Amino acid sequence: MNQDWEDRVAAAWATFDDHTDDRAADFRAVIDALVAELPEGSPLGPFEQACAWDSTGHSDKAVPLYREALARGLDGYRGRRAKIQLSSSLRNIGQPEEGVKLLTPELDASSDELDDAVRATLALCLSGLGRDREGLSLVLGALAPHLPRYQRSMANYARALVEPQD
pLDDT digits (tens, 9 = 90+) for 88-136: 999 999 999 999 999 999 999 999 999 999 999 999 999 999 999 999 9
Q: Which of 12-21, 73-82, 84-93, 137-146 has the lowest mean pLDDT?
A: 12-21
What CATH topology corresponds to 3-98? 1.25.40
Question: How high is the pLDDT of residue 164?
Answer: 80
Q: Which DSSP category does 75 fall into?
A: -
Work out the average pLDDT over 11-22: 84
Q: Record the pTM.
A: 0.92
Q: Is 51 exposed, middle or buried (0-12, 13-18, 19+ CB in 10 A)?
A: buried
Q: In the predicted model, what is the mean pLDDT of the chain?
A: 94
Query: Nearest-CA neighbor of 81 among 58, 103, 108?
Result: 103
CA 134 to chain centre: 19
Question: How high is the pLDDT of residue 166?
Answer: 63
Domain boundaries, the chain: 3-98
Confidence of residue 18 (pLDDT cuts 50, 70, 90): confident
Q: Is 72 exposed, middle or buried (0-12, 13-18, 19+ CB in 10 A)?
A: middle
Question: How high is the pLDDT of residue 120?
Answer: 96
Q: Does 21 score more than 90 pLDDT?
A: no
